[in-house]
Chain A
Amino acid sequence: MPEIRKVLGWGQCSVNGMNDIVDKSTQLSVEEGQEQTADIEGGSSEGRKKAPDKYILTFKRRLGNANEVEPGYTEEFGDIEVEPENGEAVGVKLKGCSEHIAVGFDTTDGTVATYTYKTKGTKDNRGKLTDVQLT
């Protein structure tokens, strides 16, 4: 199982223009790509390859009723951008993400939709990760 580690959390922010995000629910995690090695008998590692890191953005929105959003999975959703309230703070943009929406209920926020976006680990021809950027 690849390790998933939370990197950033926001108090108040908007995501793709949505301003009704549950306070402190927006978090960016990284799924660290696993390293694969090819060994030769009796020798040290011959080749190493690291899978790209994938970034995962999650946040919650309070809903008036469960029909407001369509739960489910979209493989090719597109880009998603977090804009913190304070312009000087850390903003992030994920490109070419998949989207997953789940609707649930909790005693604090009532009916909530949990949005999850995940990058695919796209690299350019120099081997640089291109689907996550600081804004």
Chain B
Amino acid sequence: MNEEKFNIEQELTDVILGKPYKIAVGEEEKQRFFFFFPVTLAKKMLLQSLIEPLCIDMKIMVKNPYLETLRIAHENKHTCCQILAYHTTPNTKKAFYDIDSIDKRREFFEENLGEEDIATLLVVIFTADKTKHLKIHLGLDKEQERMEKVMEVKRKHGKNNIMFGGKSLCGTFIGQLKEMGYSDDAILFRYGYSYLSLMLADKITSIYLSDEELNELPTSVGGTMLDGNDPASKAAFMAQLKKSGVDV
């Protein structure tokens, strides 16, 4: 197994197991250990409202994340420590609503972390989400594209079907997971958002297509129509022409 593949497998394992990351804060005798837990949907939504006002410059964030997190740590130490406090909150509903504990952790971080330490920890949490990376590696992004093409054909042929809903997280993400048997508590507070996203994206799904519908889709998607932009289709097209009686 090459190193890149090993790392991806390791990342996937960490996501599935919901592995927390241990950090140490404070000097010697005052030192305490905390864990960064996977970000749940509830945390994600709450953190969004804390992160948005920080006006993170994404261009700088991509080029030099430490520089940007150092700026926001300098300008918004209180909010940054609040973010760290939520990331170190265990993934249970009780802990999520335990405002006193969250405030205590925030205060401890404010007292014991310098701007540079906060910036370093923010880089860790801002770059921890590997969902997109994993989806690309596992080919789930391509599966999504394939499914969209199939659904396009299905919609075209099933013109008399009218769909409703699916306009928010409630109907899409939460609704689908509930159909799979997850409770509200598990979706919102227990499992990492990344894990649940991968679970939905990689869910085994099959869509029945009639022969006519199948013929609307290119072979690359699983249909029977050749892709004219793919040079590899040439041989199959020549065979079709030969069948029609063309001298090829």
Contacts and interface: CB of A to CB of B under 8 A. Distances in A.
Interface stretch (A5-13, A40-48, A60-68): A5-13
B53 interface: no
A128 B228 contact: no
Contacts of B225: 6-9, 27
A112 to B, nearest CB: 15
A116 interface: no
Contact of B231 (A30, A88, A126): A88
B224 to A, nearest CB: 8
Contacts of A55: 244
B228 A132 contact: no
Interface stretch (B60-68, B90-98, B166-174, B235-243): B235-243
Nearest to B246: A129
B245 A90 contact: no
B216 A6 contact: yes
A85 B245 contact: no
A12 B229 contact: yes
Interface string A2-42: 00011111111100000000000011101000000000000
A10 B247 contact: no
A131 to B, nearest CB: 9
B215 A5 contact: yes
Contacts of B248: 134
Contacts of B229: 10-13, 84-86, 89-90
* Residue of A11, A86, A89, A90 most packed against chain B (CB within 10 A): A90
Contacts of A126: 247
19 contacts: A5-B224, A6-B216, A7-B240, A8-B233, A9-B228, A11-B227, A13-B228, A52-B244, A52-B245, A55-B244, A88-B231, A89-B230, A90-B228, A90-B237, A127-B245, A129-B241, A129-B244, A129-B246, A134-B237
Given A12-B229, A84-B229, 18 more contacts: A8-B225, A8-B226, A8-B228, A8-B237, A9-B218, A9-B225, A10-B227, A10-B229, A11-B228, A13-B229, A86-B229, A86-B231, A89-B229, A126-B247, A129-B241, A129-B246, A133-B246, A134-B238
